[in-house]
């Protein structure tokens, strides 16, 4: 009976070592390929029904702070729902502004710039980044129309320079800014027909700005507008407790994001399980792992069984309050006995 128990312990630790090796390799591959961050970015683009808007969300200061790397070039693998909802709410509130519409058009140009090659792509992206930086400042500018208009004129100057420096981009730039002009005209008509915002508390102002932005989204992002209207339908009419209504908007956005992330987690888990299975098969073939051979070796060699049992007993005695999660060093040491 003692021999059988020692063989069982040996088999368990052999499998545990193999599992740990597979998990380590899987995590290394996933980290190198950036699966989590790339899947999250792709899914957020699907969630907001526009990859350009997803880039805008990622460049919002609330989300940008989650980036890593020397220059923040690495996208986050996880975004808290509260930060996502506040960033999206802020983007929607600013949607009626001309600067926000220009910003949307500039983000759409990134795909066209991505088709350039070599140094041209790098130079064009730098010019676009400069224009985007000015536009972001214009969106949040509170210095009055004169300063905002001066910023937008500088942005338009940068876009004209981009079109001149890179003639292959000129047709796309002209096409996108023709669409910009048409959308701006539609938005102006929507804003002219909306009831005037008479101010009120900060929460009431924010809620009114959100509703106005949502109306504008029918021009710029109709699919997202339809989804968000379903989420906030119950607070369309301002209640006596505006603060509660605004909190409900944020909560609904957070719940929408969390539910979507649950589905994304399921997809990631299935992909990770497939990878883990392939890694396990590869390790087993490469190392010629044979459970029957391991069991036979343990059964025939009492010294190996006893050494393994001694190591396990030492770990148990060192941790009287419970058996810890073994680290790689412990498991490899047990396996080498």
**pTM here?**
0.75
User: CA-to-CA distance for 292 and 153, rounded, in angstroms?
Assistant: 76
- DSSP sequence for 302-322: HHHHHHHHHHHHHHHHH-TT-
pLDDT at 69: 78
The 8-class DSSP code of residue 76 comes to P
- DSSP sequence for 135-168: HHHHHH--S-HHHHHHHHHHHHHHHHHHHHH-GG
Share of the chain residues as helix, strand and coil, in percent rounded to the nearest 5: 80, 0, 20
pLDDT at 335: 42
Sequence-separated (6 or more) residues with CB below 8 Å from residue 267: 39
Three-state helix/strand/coil letters over 92-130: HHHCCCHHHHHHHHHHHHHHHHCCCCHHHHHHHHHHHHH
pLDDT at 165: 93
The 8-class DSSP code of residue 232 comes to S
Q: How many CB atoms lie within 10 A of CB 133?
A: 13
CA 97-100-102 angle, 5° bins: 110
Angle 170-193/98-113 helices, nearest 10 degrees?
A: 150
221: left (phi over 0), alpha (psi -120 to 50) or beta: beta
Sequence-separated (6 or more) residues with CB below 8 Å from residue 255: 81
pLDDT at 195: 77
pLDDT at 290: 67
The 8-class DSSP code of residue 118 comes to H
**Beta carbons of 75 and 44 less than 8 angstroms apart:** no
Q: Which two tokens stand for residue 324?
A: 């810890």
Block means of pLDDT (10 residues each) for the chain, 337 residues, are 70 73 81 84 88 90 86 84 92 91 91 90 92 92 89 92 92 92 92 74 78 89 86 58 73 88 85 84 76 71 71 67 49 41
């Amino acid at each position: 009976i003692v021999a059988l128990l020692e063989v069982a312990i040996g088999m368990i630790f052999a499998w545990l070592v193999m599992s740990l090796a597979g998990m380590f390799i899987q995590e290394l591959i996933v980290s190198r390929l950036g699966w989590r961050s790339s899947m999250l970015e792709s899914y957020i683009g699907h969630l907001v029904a526009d990859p350009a808007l997803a880039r805008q969300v990622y460049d919002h200061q609330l989300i940008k702070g989650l980036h890593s790397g020397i220059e923040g070039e690495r996208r986050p693998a996880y975004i808290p729902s509260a930060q996502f909802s506040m960033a999206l709410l802020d983007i929607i509130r600013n949607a009626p502004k001309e600067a926000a519409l220009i910003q949307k058009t500039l983000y759409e140009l990134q795909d066209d710039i991505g088709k350039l090659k070599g140094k041209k792509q790098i130079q064009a992206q730098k010019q676009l980044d400069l224009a985007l930086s000015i536009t972001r400042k214009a969106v949040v500018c509170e210095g009055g129309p004169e300063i905002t208009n001066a910023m937008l004129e500088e942005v338009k100057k940068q876009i004209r320079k981009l079109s001149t420096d890179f003639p292959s981009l000129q047709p796309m730039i002209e096409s996108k800014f023709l669409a910009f002009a048409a959308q701006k005209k539609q938005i102006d008509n929507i804003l002219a027909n909306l009831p005037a915002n008479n101010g009120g508390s900060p929460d009431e102002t924010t809620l009114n700005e959100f509703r106005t932005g949502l109306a504008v989204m029918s021009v710029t992002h109709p699919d997202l507008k339809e989804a968000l209207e379903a989420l906030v339908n119950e607070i369309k009419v301002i209640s006596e407790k505006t603060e509660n209504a605004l909190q409900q908007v944020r909560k609904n956005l957070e719940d929408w994001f969390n539910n979507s992330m649950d589905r994304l987690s399921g997809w990631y888990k299935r992909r990770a399980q497939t990878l883990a299975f392939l890694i396990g098969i590869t390790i087993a073939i490469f190392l010629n792992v044979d459970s029957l051979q391991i069991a036979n070796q343990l059964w025939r060699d009492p010294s190996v069984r006893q050494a393994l049992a001694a190591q396990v007993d030492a770990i148990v005695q060192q941790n009287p309050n419970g058996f810890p999660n073994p680290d790689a060093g412990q498991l490899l040491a047990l396996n080498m006995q």
